[in-house]
Amino acid sequence: MPIFCLSRIFNAATTRSSVLRIIMFFLMSPVVSQAQTVELVGDINPGGNSSVTQKIDLGGTLIFSAYEPTHGAEIWKSDGTPGGTSLLKDINPGTGNANINNLIVYDGKVYFSADDGTHGREIWVTDGSAAGTVMLKDIDPAGNGSFSYPIVFDNRLFFVANDGVHGSEWWTTDGTAGNTQLFVDSSSVGGSPANPYIFNDELYYAYLQPGIGVEPWVTNGTPAGTRLLTNINMTASMNSSPAEFREYNSFLYFSADDGLTGSEVWVTDGTASGTSQLVDLRPGTLGSAPRHFFPYNNRLYFEAADGTTGTEVWMTDGTATGTSLLSDIHPTGNADPIGFTLYGGNLFFSATDGVHGREPWLSDGTAGGTFLLKDINPAGSSMPGYFTFSLNPVEYDGKLFFVADAGSNGYELWTTDGSGSGTLLLPFSGGSGSGPLAAFNEFVLCGGFLYFDANYDGTGEDLYRVAAGGATVEEDLPEEPVLFPNPSTGLIQLRLPAFCHDVYFEVTDLAGRTLLLEKNTGLRQLDLSDFPPAVYLLRIQWQDGSKTVRLVKTGSGR
């Protein structure tokens, strides 16, 4: 058996700065993966629907809203066990519904809106005990003071409320009734602040001012420091409707409509003069309607439609010339990418290519590295959603969890390690099968477990959690080395059998000149993105065998 050196050998005639790269794709590396199981936490309404919603972690205790016929929809708590799951307080006494909403943790307590049947919808607070669950303040004694868009800023809790006099405006609290007060009245009719986002120690939001319209506003936490950032849509009383605020590379990006080019990508450094349209992706008045901004791999990714390629994944480096289409996933229609999620150094999202329906996709930030992860529902669309990772990744047991429909039992709980073979339906420990999550609301991490709502027994929605460990699941590894796709415009996935050890790779051109020689193990990718269209040879050699494969590179790949 030939012995190869662990070094790269390049043809002297090859002048590219980046020739052929073999990249470890650790998401696909395990041969055997640990499986999780689903377990019932509490059957709150036996034989009926518990309507579990609004879940949040309070120091390891799960606070949530649930329904049972004796007390209606109220606030509950759980320590993760059936015996430790109980009604926290009957806020609206009897069978009336308290309508719990907008939960947020601030200074060790949970704040939320609720209706006790007497004061209307107001701001409430709980420390996790019944005695510590109280209405903080009756903001509107004659109606619903409400409590929306809560956000912790400047060591206070900001929220939108209406006292019946000033309209919907920003209010603040330090957790005491005496210091729960109107922050500033910037509009005599109530400006209805929305879409709050913190950037450079200031709070940005959309706000309606009579005669100007809905435009971006900003505050430093003082009434005097609260101002209109700039009037993007200069037509009187017309709205630019700023939304999708997201920080990237020390600037704030958002979508807005200037009344001339439609909704496009805008950027600001926090000053009026430093606020401008980044690029007009769709010339004309319709706009590209950018959404779902997501920083990844030194770029800002988003969904947009330029009028030519449909709604696809776009990316930008913060310049007009550096804004481009990532990949035309659906060449004849709209890919409609949503749910951008970071996991294991890759970008996950759901999309449709017009062939497989809406399914989970993965990207490493290149056109060649953007591909369908798994066709969960071959007969239609699995409609994957609710990825548990966000801008600040939260890893649960090293897996990514989502909800999808395989076409047989409706929406169910799925998990992935980033590989197609490692994308699996999660079993329910209480029975032989799993059931639909049609009324699914959200995942919440609490006390080291992943909680969610589901209807596994067919009698109604209840509270469940994922338990780590349990039986192992053998991944479907090939009997010999497999490459896909081939031909390819860029990245080629390489999967090896379990018996392959001490693996060496040698890539040559058809003249036999070695372009790369390296040793590695496990699964990986070959990146041909920078290579010209041509045919290459890949020789794979392991401890007691070898295989040579022709690699066909087509297109530019980028």
Report yes or no: 358 and 377 within 8 Å, Cβ to Cβ: no
Report yes or no: 228 and 186 within 8 Å, Cβ to Cβ: no
SS3 512: coil
Report yes or no: 41 and 465 within 8 Å, Cβ to Cβ: yes
Instruction: Measure CA 549 to chain center.
Output: 38
pTM (two decimals): 0.78
- Cα separation, 387 vs 389, in Å, equals 6
Instruction: Give the number of residues written for the chain.
Output: 558
- Tally Cβ neighbours within 10 Å of residue 425: 16
Residues of the chain with pLDDT under 50: 1-34, 390-394, 432-433, 470-477, 521-523, 557-558
The token pair at 374 is: 């798994």
Residue 441: partners with Cβ closer than 8 Å, 6 or more residues away: 52, 53, 54, 55, 452, 453
For 99-201, strand residue ranges (E) read 101-106, 109-115, 121-126, 134-137, 148-153, 156-162, 168-173, 181-184, 194-199
Q: What is the DSSP letter of 532?
A: P
Q: What is the DSSP letter of 289?
A: -
Q: Which amino acid is at 126?
A: T
Residues linked to residue 111 through DSSP beta bridges, in sequence order: 104, 125
Q: Give whole-number Cα distances, 335 to 349, 360, 553, 558, in Å.
A: 11, 12, 24, 18
Give the pLDDT score at 507: 76
- Tally Cβ neighbours within 10 Å of residue 489: 19
- Cα separation, 451 vs 466, in Å, equals 7
- Cα separation, 35 vs 397, in Å, equals 10
Cα–Cα nearest to 173, from 130, 208, 125, 132 = 125
Instruction: Output the furthest CA–CA distance in the chain (Å, rounded).
Output: 87
Cα–Cα nearest to 208, from 191, 186, 227 = 191
Residue 117: partners with Cβ closer than 8 Å, 6 or more residues away: 92, 93, 96
- Cα separation, 529 vs 242, in Å, equals 37
The token pair at 30 is: 């395990």
Give the pLDDT score at 514: 76
SS3 26: helix
Give the pLDDT score at 198: 96
pLDDT tens column, 152-163: 999 999 999 999
Q: Which amino acid is at 538?
A: L
CA angle centred on 496, ends 490 and 497, rounded to 5°:
160
Q: Which residue bears the tokens 């004061």? A: 119
Report yes or no: 467 and 449 within 8 Å, Cβ to Cβ: yes
Instruction: Measure CA 379 to chain center.
Output: 26
Using a 10 angstrom Cβ sphere, with 0-12 exposed, 13-18 middle and 19 or more buried, the burial of residue 290 is buried
